[in-house]
């Protein structure tokens, strides 16, 4: 029976193989179990730091602590002044000289008088104490107009593009060019001293009357390129003044400007750490855009707000300040794009705060995390925002106690040496941390590993302008003042004999001050 069953089983197996048409046994293939791919753990990026050796030790540490602490945080942005902060020396003032040298003007002799009288009028004809020579505003304008008329008729007409090198050499050999250039440039300082920054800063920009935005940009780019490669020197222009109303005038100006590698590095480090970079300047908007491009900052800047002049229907500048449709510019996808939010203010002094509040603040909902400054014109925006963690003051060592740059320089030394602050301890105490960066104004100009500055024409480094700065700092020490007390006390103009004067000499620089950290 067992044999029969075995035979039947064998027969069934043979028939089964035949039916399958396969003489190989069917074997179930093993099924691969799914294998989880290894997942890379997120790598925490190391913040990018500034590395140049010619940063002040305190400033380098402050910057690197700042990007470590605040880099990539929500709504993080900073605001830079440009002239004498981002740049060493003033690019707008250098442009004024360059414009005179190449005779880049787009107005006729019949128009120059109205342009130069803008916002100062032809009043005070008997006033003879304006400085830089004798005479009233009317006398100055008469002399400049007469010289320009002669030059225009002899070598013109002039255009926004200016003269070529051969024509420049020819016109500058004429004594009437020196009469025109010297008095034109000196009148800018005269208006500043006799009036106010609010009058003088726009006044020099009216020299661009008749030009388009692109023409001003191109002119400025040429100036920045030329003077960025020039070593610092002092140049004096003198006029004979024969037969003129004002008489002989002498004017000395500083030649050379530019942006150091340190500032290029700083802009890049901030941007690459996720912090937006804005510029707020009291120079004209087109020359600052040109400076951002010429000096290698374009890739790191979010936007620029600066002084705005009115454009006519043909897109040419006229001699008036534009409070209503004067816009900043943004860099989007690598290209300049004009913003559509009006500045509503001159971008100097308290006007910088007003412009930041109008254009920048609403984009983020908070004030800037850091400010970069050198002077009174920057004092408001570098003290009023409660969100400010860090301010770097670029030391010109020429700022008196009657200038915001002088007071902040003293405060930076006080916070370091008396309060013992660094970024973390200052911020923990609710204070902005103020640090002071020295510079070297000789040669092609740069920063120094010091809080002291080598001013051009001096043979030793300087921390402050004079003994009044030292006395003001000592008062801070003797009275154990807080940062808030210092900023609020020494901002407002105070006469030497004022009842509330705590020093016995004149100090302060603004008529009104809203207060430290008053803007949330």
Ordered DSSP codes for 135-185? S-HHHHHHHHHHHHHHHHHHH----TT---HHHHHHHHTSHHHHHHHHHHH
pTM over 0.85, yes/no: yes
pLDDT at site 172: 98
What confidence score (pLDDT) does residue 502 get? 94
Q: What does R_g of the chain's alpha carbons equal in angstroms?
A: 33
What is the spatial order of strands in the sheet that 335-342 belongs to? 335-342, 327-332, 303-307, 276-284, 77-80, 370-373, 390-394, 433-437
- Helices within 156-260 (DSSP H only): 165-172, 175-194, 197-205, 213-228
CA distances from 337 to 122, 489, 512 (A): 39, 41, 35
Give the residue from 102, 74, 357 showing the smallest Cα distance to 221.
Answer: 102
Can you give the pLDDT at residue 9?
41
Residue with tokens 């020494």: 490
Residue 14: how many other CB atoms lie within 10 Å: 9
How far is the C-alpha of 249 from the C-alpha of 246, rounded, in Å?
8
Question: With contact defined as beta carbons under 8 Å apart, do 381 and 371 qualify?
Answer: yes
What's the rounded Cα separation, in Å, for the pair 111 and 108? 5
Q: Cα–Cα distances in Å, from 356 out to 78, 350, 382, 435?
A: 11, 10, 12, 22
* Domain 91-255 -> CATH class: mainly alpha
* In contact, 261 and 192? CB cutoff 8 Å: no
Domain ranges across the chain: 57-88+258-489, 91-255
Q: What is the pLDDT of residue 14?
A: 37
Q: What's the confidence (pLDDT) of residue 8?
A: 40
Distance, in Å, from the CA atom of 265 to the CA atom of 286, rounded to the nearest integer, reads 23
Task: Specify the CATH number of the domain 57-88+258-489.
Answer: 3.40.50.1000
Question: In sequence order, which residues have a C-beta less than 8 Å from that of residue 462 and are 6 or more positions away?
Answer: 397, 452, 453, 454, 455
- Tell me the two tokens of residue 382: 């570098």
Rounded alpha-carbon distances, angstroms, from residue 221 to 85, 160, 293, 314, 351: 19, 13, 8, 23, 26
In a 3-state reduction of DSSP, which class is residue 198? helix
Spatial separation of the C-alpha atoms in residues 176 and 157, rounded to whole Å: 16
Give the helix/strand (H/E) hosting 277: strand 276-284
Residue pair 516/431 in contact by the 8 Å Cβ criterion: no
Mean pLDDT for back-to-back runs of 10 residues, the chain (520 residues): 41 40 42 54 73 97 98 97 98 98 98 95 62 82 97 98 98 98 96 92 97 98 98 97 93 98 98 98 98 98 98 98 97 98 98 98 98 98 98 98 98 98 98 98 98 98 98 98 98 97 97 97
pLDDT at site 10: 45
Question: Could you please report the per-residue DSSP string of 346-365?
Answer: -SSTHHHHHHHHHHTHHHHS
Instruction: Give the helix/strand (H/E) hosting 237.
Output: strand 233-238
For every residue of 391-459, DSSP letters joined together read: EEEE--S---TTSHHHHHHHHHHHHHHTS---HHHHHHTT--EEEEE-EE-STT-EE-SSSSBB-TT-S
Q: How high is the pLDDT of residue 220?
A: 98
Q: Work out the end-to-end distance of the chain between its first and last CA atoms, rounded to an integer number of angstroms.
A: 104
| DSSP conformational letter for 491 | T
For the record, the structure tokens of 303 come out as 């936007």
CA 104 to CA 434: how far, in whole Å?
Answer: 41
- d(CA 304, CA 381) in angstroms, rounded, equals 15
Which H or E element spans position 520? none
């Amino acid at each position: 029976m067992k044999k029969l069953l075995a035979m039947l089983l064998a027969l069934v197996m043979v028939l089964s193989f035949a039916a399958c048409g396969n003489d190989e046994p069917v074997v179930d293939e093993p099924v691969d179990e799914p294998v989880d791919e290894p997942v890379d753990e997120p790598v925490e990026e190391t913040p990018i730091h500034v590395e140049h050796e010619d940063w002040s030790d305190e400033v380098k540490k402050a910057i690197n602590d700042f990007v470590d602490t605040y880099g990539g945080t929500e709504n993080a942005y900073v605001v830079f002044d440009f002239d004498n902060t981002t740049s060493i020396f003033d690019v707008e003032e250098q442009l004024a000289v360059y414009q005179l040298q190449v005779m880049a003007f787009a107005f006729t002799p019949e128009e120059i008088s109205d342009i130069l009288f803008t916002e100062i009028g032809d009043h005070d004809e008997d006033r003879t104490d304006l400085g830089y020579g004798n005479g009233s505003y009317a006398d100055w304008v008469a002399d400049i107009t007469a010289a320009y008329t002669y030059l225009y008729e002899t070598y013109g007409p002039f255009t926004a593009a200016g003269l070529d090198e051969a024509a420049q050499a020819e016109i500058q050999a004429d004594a009437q060019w020196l009469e025109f250039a010297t008095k034109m440039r000196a009148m800018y300082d005269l208006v500043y001293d006799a009036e106010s920054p609010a009058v003088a800063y726009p006044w020099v920009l009216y020299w661009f009357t008749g030009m388009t935005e692109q023409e001003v940009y191109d002119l400025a780019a040429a100036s920045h390129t030329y003077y960025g490669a020039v070593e610092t020197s002092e140049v004096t222009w003198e006029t004979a003044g024969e037969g003129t109303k004002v008489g002989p005038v002498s004017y000395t100006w500083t030649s050379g400007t530019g942006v150091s590698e340190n500032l290029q590095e700083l802009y890049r480090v901030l941007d690459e750490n996720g912090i937006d970079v804005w510029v707020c300047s009291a120079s004209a908007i087109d020359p600052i855009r040109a400076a951002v491009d010429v000096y290698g900052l374009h890739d790191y800047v979010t936007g620029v707000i600066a002084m705005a002049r009115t454009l006519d229907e043909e897109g040419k500048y006229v001699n008036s300040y534009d409070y209503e449709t004067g816009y900043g510019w943004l860099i989007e996808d690598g290209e300049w794009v004009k913003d559509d939010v009006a500045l509503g203010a001159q971008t100097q002094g308290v006007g910088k705060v007003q412009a930041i509040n109008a254009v920048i603040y609403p984009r983020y909902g908070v004030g800037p995390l850091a400010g970069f400054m050198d002077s009174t014109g920057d004092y408001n925006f570098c003290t009023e925002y409660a969100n400010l963690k860090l301010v770097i003051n670029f030391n010109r060592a020429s700022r008196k106690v009657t200038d915001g740059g002088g007071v902040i320089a003293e405060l930076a030394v006080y916070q370091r040496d008396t309060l013992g602050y660094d970024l973390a301890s200052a911020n923990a105490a609710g204070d902005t941390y103020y640090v002071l960066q020295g510079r070297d104004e000789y040669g092609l100009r740069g920063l120094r590993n010091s809080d002291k500055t080598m001013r051009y024409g001096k043979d030793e480094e300087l921390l402050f302008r004079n003994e009044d700065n030292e006395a003001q700092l000592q008062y801070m020490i003797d009275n154990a003042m807080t940062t808030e007390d210092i900023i609020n006390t020494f901002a407002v103009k105070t006469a030497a004999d004022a009842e509330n004067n705590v020093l016995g000499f004149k100090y302060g620089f603004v008529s009104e001050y809203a207060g430290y950290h008053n803007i949330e």
